[in-house]
Amino acid sequence: RRWVVHGRVQGVFFRASTRDAALALGLDGSARNLADGRVEVIARGTPQRLRHLADWLRQGPPAARVDAIEELPCEARPGAGFTTG
């Protein structure tokens, strides 16, 4: 799955916190800052675990302010682990 998260999501440990949440759920994928201030998250795993991550993304870490989250088509096949970049 692929999500794009809008709001105050850069400079608030969003990617690192997303990695921690995803790894705790046993998901593979990545989180990266986009040039326009959003964060893109790609994850692979069971539907239930992906739903849990999506729920987490709607709030993010304490310093973040999530205004919106988009779920978009994804053709990427992330490898093992979870990266931030």
33 classed as catalytic: yes
Pairwise CA distance, residues 14 & 17, whole Å: 5
15 classed as catalytic: yes
Choosing from 2, 8, 33, 49, the catalytic residue is: 33
- DSSP string for 29-70: EEEEE-TTS-EEEEEES-HHHHHHHHHHHTT-STT-EEEEEE
Choosing from 1, 15, 38, 44, the catalytic residue is: 15
User: Which residues are the active-site residues?
Assistant: 15, 33
